[in-house]
């Protein structure tokens, strides 16, 4: 009887952890940037940083969730916005492209060469996978004119400028260090 009670407790804990993993935030990690910068929505594009750049008209921290088919990342705002629907993340997978990761509302289409499907999490690591490719994590942080704020790009071409930083987007929040 004690074993059955233990088993039920473990199963409830597992189900609870799976349910809470349905909504997640992403944080950037890489050599050359502050670890754990949170991903946010800014005028239809993805940024990571300590705050939104001043040149954006609409910026908000977001929580992501997987679509019903599990291949799209859908954004929910952690604040007030004037969205008519929840936007879906996209990347431009055109050969040689290095364009901003963006968001497209449900009634809009992604730019030419961009796709909203193929996203997933491998453990806590965000990835993209085309039908004909393996799992890829080609995220780049491109500096803005503000400290610790970067535009997130997808590096389909495999090249980057000297200022760009290869990053991993993870669901793991940075560890807070108390003084």
* Residues in Cβ contact with 85 at an 8 Å cutoff, skipping those fewer than 6 apart: 105, 106, 107
Q: What is the pLDDT of residues 99-143, one digit of tens each?
A: 999 999 987 899 999 999 999 999 999 999 987 778 999 999 999
In this predicted structure, the answer to whether residue 73 has a pLDDT above a threshold of 90 is: yes
Architecture of the domain defined by 19-170 = Trefoil (2.80)
Is 25 in contact with 36 (CB distance < 8 Å)? no
What mean pLDDT do residues 13-33 have?
A: 71
Q: What is the pLDDT of residues 139-173, one digit of tens each?
A: 999 999 999 999 999 999 888 889 999 999 999 99
Work out the pLDDT band at 175, boundaries 50, 70, 90: confident
For residues 63 and 76, give the distance between their C-alpha atoms in angstroms, rounded to a whole number.
Answer: 5
Q: For position 18, what pLDDT does the model report?
A: 40
Q: Supply the pTM of this predicted model.
A: 0.85
What are the boundaries of each domain within the chain?
19-170
Q: For position 6, what pLDDT does the model report?
A: 41
- Nearest residue to 169 via CA among 31, 21, 48, 18: 48
In this predicted structure, the answer to whether residue 15 has a pLDDT above a threshold of 70 is: no
Instruction: Write the Ramachandran bin of 156: left for phi over 0, alpha for psi from -120 to 50, otherwise beta.
Output: alpha
Q: Quickly count: other Cβ atoms within 10 Å of residue 141's Cβ.
A: 26
Q: For position 22, what pLDDT does the model report?
A: 86
Secondary structure (H, E, C), 35-92: CCEEEEEECCEEEEECCCCCCCCCEEEEEEEECCCCCCEEEEECCCCCCCCCCEEEEE
């Amino acid at each position: 009887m004690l074993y059955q009670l233990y088993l039920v407790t473990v199963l409830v804990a597992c189900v609870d952890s799976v349910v809470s993993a349905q909504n997640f935030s992403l944080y950037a990690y890489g050599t050359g940037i502050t670890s754990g910068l949170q991903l946010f929505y800014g005028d239809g594009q993805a940024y990571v940083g300590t705050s939104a750049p001043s040149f954006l008209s609409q910026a908000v921290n977001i929580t992501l969730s997987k679509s019903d088919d599990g291949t799209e990342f859908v954004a929910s705002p952690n604040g007030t916005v004037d969205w008519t629907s929840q936007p879906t993340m996209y990347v431009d997978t055109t050969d040689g492209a290095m364009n901003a990761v963006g968001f497209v509302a449900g009634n809009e289409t992604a730019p030419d060469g961009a796709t909203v499907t193929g996203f997933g999490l491998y453990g806590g690591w965000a990835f993209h996978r085309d039908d004909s490719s393996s799992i890829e994590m080609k995220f780049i942080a491109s500096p803005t004119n503000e400290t610790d704020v970067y535009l997130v790009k997808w590096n389909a071409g495999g090249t980057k400028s000297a200022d760009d930083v290869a990053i991993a987007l993870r669901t793991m929040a940075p560890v807070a260090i108390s003084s």
